[in-house]
Amino acid sequence: MTDEHTRTESRFDIDRDEMGRDLVALVLTIVELLRQLMERQAIRRVDQGDLTDEQVDRIGETLMHLEERMTELCDQHGLRLEDLNLDLGPLGSLLPRT
C-alpha cells in the first residue's frame, strides 16, 4: 500500500453502523413528514364536512395506525420521534414541535 492510499483511507473512516442509523433516521423523517401532511389534509377535509362518518372513522383509524407504526419503527432503531426533526437554521425545524 502506498502512503497516499493510507491517507485517503483514514480521511474516510466511516462507521457503518452510524451511517446505517443515520440513513434510517432520514427515511423515517421523510415518512413522518408525509404522515403529518396527510394528517393535516385529513383534518381540513373533516372540517369542510364533505366526508361521511364512515370515511372520517377510516381516516382516524389509518392515521392512528400510522403513528403507532412510526413509534414502533423508531423504537426498533433506537430513535425517538423527536430525533427525526431537522433544524433548518433560520427557517426553523422541519417538523412542527408537538
| Chain segment 66-85, per-residue pLDDT in tens | 999 999 999 999 998 888 87
pLDDT of residue 95: 77
- Answer whether 0.85 is exceeded by the pTM: no
List own/partner pairs for 3-6 with CB under 8 A and 24 or more apart: none
Which ranges in the chain belong to alpha helices (H)? 3-11, 16-48, 53-76
Find out whether 27 and 76 touch, Cβ atoms under 8 Å: no
Find out whether 43 and 96 touch, Cβ atoms under 8 Å: no
pLDDT digits (tens, 9 = 90+) for 19-42: 778 888 899 999 988 988 999 999
Cell numbers 423527536 correspond to what residue? 82
Band the pLDDT of 53: cuts 50, 70, 90. Answer: very high
